[in-house]
Chains A and B, each alone.
Chain A
Amino acid sequence: MVVDELSDSDVDRLFHALADATRRDIVARAITGEHSVSALAAHYAMSFAAVQKHVAVLERASLVSKEKRGREQIVRANLDAVRKARRLLDEYEKIWRQRVDRIADILAEK
């Protein structure tokens, strides 16, 4: 069962991390390439510390990873976590597709 790969608390961290617009934007930028935390901070009307906090939330949810390079911290997206979130919704979709098929069968009887 694919859902077994993530524990409940993992999944909660993942969705919590993605529930914020700034954090989604950080993930979107990190997907297209490497960014330092200070480069990311330049995009948002908030303090460097606040952006760093957002990155930490994303890191705990395994959505991004951070790597020290000299004096900079480089942020990279971890696409596996995004794919897993999607898989959960895929599984729920299957349940509804089966229901729709059964409704169609009932309607076809008359």
Chain B
Amino acid sequence: MAVISTEKDIEALSLTLVAEFDAGVERVWQVWEDPRQLERWWGPPTWPATFEKHELRPGGSASYYMTGPDGEKSRGWWEFTTVEAPHRLEFDDGFANEDGSKAEEMGETHAVVTLEEVDAGRTRMTVASRFESADQLQQMIEMGMEEGLREAMGQIDVILAERASV
């Protein structure tokens, strides 16, 4: 089991998740460092991410979009505040408008990722996410849940189409 623990702090609006992987620290760092690997896990399966820019260095930024089942795009940005390969990564994360500019009204999340070796070839990853407002947390969740909602809507479409052809 990859996820070891999660800790939620309702007052501080934060979530800390600890996971362990059967791979070395350098290898786990690659899933963050290599945009082609990163985009295979960041977005939900039906909303795969494409990173157009990924400057993994302090002060660097990333921009990406996720593509939905109907081809619609949802854009996001990261700004790296700390990058200490292969052990520590801190970044701010938010939504972007269609032109790539920050969607300020959506707020941002601050994430701290640490990787440490627990045994030879085994890595513990801790991700601490802190939200600046409850609205913003809700936005994040709705983005993640949109997938399921759209699938459900698709099924309704199928049912309606069947009825129409009877």
Contact = CB atoms under 8 A, between A and B. Distances in A.
Interface of A: 1, 3, 8, 11-12, 14-15, 18-19, 24, 82, 85-86, 88-108, 110
A100 B3 contact: yes
B164 interface: no
Contacts of B3: 97, 100
19 contacts: A3-B138, A8-B135, A11-B138, A12-B133, A12-B134, A14-B134, A15-B10, A89-B10, A92-B140, A93-B6, A93-B17, A97-B3, A98-B44, A99-B42, A100-B3, A103-B19, A104-B19, A105-B41, A107-B22
B57 to A, nearest CB: 22
Contacts, number: 101
Interface of B: 2-3, 6, 8, 10-11, 13, 15, 17, 19, 21-23, 27-28, 31, 37, 40-42, 44-45, 125, 127, 129, 133-135, 137-138, 140-142, 144-145, 149
Nearest to A104: B2
Given A11-B134, A93-B6, 19 more contacts: A1-B149, A3-B145, A15-B13, A18-B11, A88-B141, A90-B8, A91-B141, A91-B145, A92-B137, A92-B140, A95-B141, A95-B144, A97-B6, A97-B17, A99-B41, A103-B19, A103-B41, A103-B125, A106-B40
Give 7 nearest A-B pairs by CB, closest first.
A102-B41, A11-B134, A95-B144, A89-B8, A15-B134, A91-B141, A107-B23
A56 B150 CA distance: 40
Contact of B2 (A19, A91, A101): A101
